[in-house]
Structure 1
Amino acid sequence: MAAFVGLDSFYKNILNRTSEYPKNEVGHFNIFKVEDIRLPTHKPVHYTRRNFFKMTLVTGHSKIHYADQSIEVNGSVLVFTNPMIPYFWEIISEEQTGFMCIFTEAFFSRFGSISEYPVFQHADSAVIALNESEAASYKALFVRMLDELQGDYAYKYDLLRNLLMEVVHGAQKMRPLAGDRHAGSNAAERITGLFAELLERQFPIELSNQVIQLNTPAAFARQLNIHVNHLNKALKETTGQTTSQLISDRVLQEAKVLLKSTNWTISEIAWSLGFEEPNHFSSFFKNRAKLTAQKFRSSNTD
């Protein structure tokens, strides 16, 4: 499973700041110049996830390993990353300039979900090459965000949201830069790792109103931006099981835990596990566990 980097680690290890990072009542938002950030070169590829979103405008020579793609860029590029998918930024040249903007989903909580925008969902949409004119235009937006953040305007965070969304919408109108899906020694293993990451992130279920969002092969394929047949082939090659089997096994495992460790109703458990109808869950459980959910709950079977 990819390592997880929080805001505390980011400020300490990347920005070399040991003091508490700034916070405000509207979620976290900050922007930096790339030149002020420690960017180690010649470092082995190591995938990590962040608990925040990142939007970067950078000029230089680097390789971006995102999901199952590796995209080499030598020039100006816009990159959007989200907490769901692990990635690694491999610095090739020491000369890197630009801006990095980081923010939490809470920063947009009153204005919809930022994670629903395509540039934050898939590698195909997340890396966008820029010509000189486009780079200059986006640089002006990042410079303005930096200036506004340092200012004292009472509604500056509302303005910053608008400026950030101007970057997002502008990027979505542009043609994304596709990368090599088969970069690396074993693409199937990398796809399997990303699938397992997405699957496990949905568990454990701790609240009865918590509902898993990915419960079908098609849903996982969309999140990974690959064809469902490609996902099935990769998982079959590395695990010997189909996507549906792996999902069902994990859902069954969680169902047993919830039946034994909670007093939730069968309907509540079914809903949390992504079943729209309780009888669908009951049929699923009986077929897989060879006894009903109610009998399993009252038995000594694990």
Structure 2
Amino acid sequence: MNTLNAETVIPKYAFEEDVAIGNKMFKIVKSSHSVRYHKADMLVPHRKDYYFYVFVKQGNSRHWIDMTLYTLRPDTFYFSVPHQIHLKEEAKPFTGSAINFTEEFLAMEENGFLKQLPIIQNRHNGHELNLNSDDVVFIEDLVDKIHTEYNAKQNWQNSMLVAYMHVLLIYLSRLYTEQFTDGEQAPEKLLLKRYLARIEDDYKEIHDVAAYADMLNITAGHLSEVVKKQSGKTAMEHIHERLEWEAKRLLFHTDHSIKEIAFELGFEDASYFNRFFKRLAEQTPADYRKSTRHLYH
């Protein structure tokens, strides 16, 4: 199999036109409990040179955007801008709508207003928007209208799509501003971000919550309480999750032995690493490597 190393250029995927529709700047695709992915994309870091928006009705696949792991949640909106790094960890059935559009599509709107919206500029490198029940109703209705227009093939189609997207992008920008700007300096949110950043820096060497708490100059109990409240996961789960997914990446992308991977991730005992991995992934490292390479290659 091909493996990535430090010198490998991360592939950049261009916008894929729906030939049946013939639109080279915009595409919307609805899925109903199906798996939509390219095998070549799985576990491969890549970029998209277009905007990629997904309204999820049902689904729980996991993926990375830049250095953040996301698990899809029902009635949630996901977005990315060109050149953020994507990594699909696994593919599961998905129900919802995916909207892709290019810089050229945005340029159709007069005076460049759309390109200035917070959701488009994405200064905070966000990817996920939480929706309440009213948000879900509004967005679902608008996405349905966009899908109908996209498939109608009538005159001035792109102009109509821009008009619909104008409304959608303003609505999403309001949510973006609320969720990524207001209250972002709250101590609890800053603490969660600092904790996750510390894990990212030190997860190979440090597997203990108390050690991270010492680095942050707080007690382990306070750290655990805040992390659980803000993320829904325990502080230890974040450490284990990072180790598990890094192990999966190494098992898939490299030909390192299980022992070498265990030591690289800070496990002094390869047998303990095997038990750790099996408890989280429900299969041994060797079985995971075999099954994923067989599935995607």
What is the TM-score of this pair, normalised by structure 2?
A: 0.49
